[in-house]
Each structure stands twice: as C-alpha cells, then as structure tokens.
A and B are shown apart, each in its own frame.
Chain A
C-alpha cells in the first residue's frame, strides 16, 4: 500500500527564527509521529527528527519552509508542525 504524503509550506513567524530551542521543539513534535518528515528551504533538505540537521536550516524570520510528511500519520504530523510554527510561534514573540 502506498503511504499517504502531505506536503505543506510553513512560514517562520517568531522574531528570532529557528534557533536551537525552537529547533528542539520542532524535533520533539516531529518525533511524536511515525511518518518520515523532511523539511527544506531553498537548497537544504533535512530530517525533521534530527536536531543537528534542523539547526542547520538556520531559518530566519519570514523564511518559508516546505514540510513533507510520508506515512500513516502524515496529515496529523503536518498539522501539528504548522500549529507549533505558525500558531504557537514556539512560545516566542512574533517578528515583523
């Protein structure tokens, strides 16, 4: 059976961007799901469950990232990540 794939675009909205603590929160949320989750900016694709790779993205305020989840719980994973990044803003002040 083909696994479901969900691909969404998210925007970094907290002023300080995806520094280490937000990256850790991102990894924590992604790791709750069985799906394989990849995050990419213009030229880098990383594993959303690896802190070392996520920090490498260095996504600043206003950066748009593509999240691609593949697996049984892909839709839920994508929704949870959007919630963390765009609604909760990693519990940080908004930028702009």
Chain B
C-alpha cells in the first residue's frame, strides 16, 4: 500500500492552527469530515475517540513524529490526514521531544489487516531520515503531496 493511496489530499494541513496535541487532532479530524471521509459520525466523536486512544498510550514514537489513530465503525476505508507544525507540540513522545509532523490514521473497525498495511506504509516511510526531514520542512500542500508521491511503495 502506498501513502498516496490513503492520505486524503484535502486533509493535509501544512501549518496547524495551534501547536497543541488535542487541537491538532481535532483540526485534522475536521479536515477529514469536510472531505467527506467520516461517514455518519461527527468530527467531535471521532476526535474524542482518537484522543482517548492517545491518552492510553502516546503514538508519539519519537524523532518528531506522531501517528494518532483509531479504528471506528463509521469509517469506510483507511484514510489519513497530515498536519505539520513548525513550532512543534508536546505529544508525550517516547523520546520526550516535540512533535512536528502528525499523521492521523482512521481505520474501519472490521478490517484489522488493512489498518496494519496502512501502518506499515506510514512507518516504513517515517523510518527514513529524509522522509521525516522533508515532511518537517514542507510548507505547502503541494510540497507534501510531492513527498507522498516520491515515497516508497510498500
């Protein structure tokens, strides 16, 4: 699965409005809602579910990136939003560093294998120093889209 297969271009936010975890999550979920990706559920409900999951264990896995995610019954297929913050935000990361790039992933609740394939694609790319650096430096939707298209097909 390729990142560009499931990242919603209309939910790419090159500069998040507020460098705070919960607000960033909310902003990305709202962007997905506007793009028509949430099915019958409200952005509020989905954001709450993502934050609840985040509070159980941080998805800030270090090196300036976080991958908040949740499986939700109203989600038709895996879909992701990307948000960046030049300032960085507190995310209770494993390495205690600020997070500059957030990839928010929503998955259907009945297809764990699809969720894993999307995670594999995200992490294979996040593993790469160049990918993280380009994402952190990107300043426009077009630049991020280009990074996604150049990303590895996994």
- The interface centre, meaning the residue of A56, A57, A59 with most chain B CB atoms within 10 A of its CB, is A56
Partner among A18, A52, A57 whose Cβ is within 8 Å of the Cβ of B62:
A52
Given A20-B67, A20-B69, A20-B119, verify A55-B61 contact (CB < 8 Å). Answer: yes
Task: Tell me if A58 and B61 are in contact (CB < 8 A).
Answer: no
A88 at the interface (CB under 8 A from B): no
Task: Tell me if A24 and B57 are in contact (CB < 8 A).
Answer: yes
Task: Select from chain A the residue with minimum beta-carbon distance to B125.
Answer: A56
Q: How far is the CB of A91 from chain B (nearest CB, A)?
A: 13
Task: Tell me if A17 and B61 are in contact (CB < 8 A).
Answer: no
Q: Which residues of A contact B140 (CB under 8 A)?
A: none
**Number of chain B residues whose Cβ lies closer than 8 Å to a Cβ of chain A:** 20
Given A21-B57, A24-B57, A52-B62, verify A57-B115 contact (CB < 8 Å). Answer: no
Task: Tell me if B123 and A56 are in contact (CB < 8 A).
Answer: yes
- The interface centre, meaning the residue of B69, B113, B115, B116 with most chain A CB atoms within 10 A of its CB, is B116
Partner among B56, B61, B112, B117 whose Cβ is within 8 Å of the Cβ of A51:
B61
Task: Tell me if B94 and A55 are in contact (CB < 8 A).
Answer: no
How long is the Cα–Cα vector from A32 to B68 in the complex, in angstroms? 26
A6 at the interface (CB under 8 A from B): no
Q: Which residues of B contact A58 (CB under 8 A)?
A: 116-117, 119-120, 123
Task: Select from chain B the residue with minimum beta-carbon distance to A62.
Answer: B113
Q: How far is the CB of B57 from chain A (nearest CB, A)?
A: 6
Q: Which residues of A contact B127 (CB under 8 A)?
A: 52-53, 56
8 more A-B contacts (CB under 8 A) besides A16-B115, A58-B123? A19-B119, A20-B67, A52-B63, A52-B123, A56-B120, A58-B116, A58-B117, A58-B119
Please, could you name 7 A-B residue pairs with CB atoms under 8 Å apart, sorted by A? A17-B116, A20-B57, A20-B59, A51-B94, A55-B120, A58-B120, A60-B112
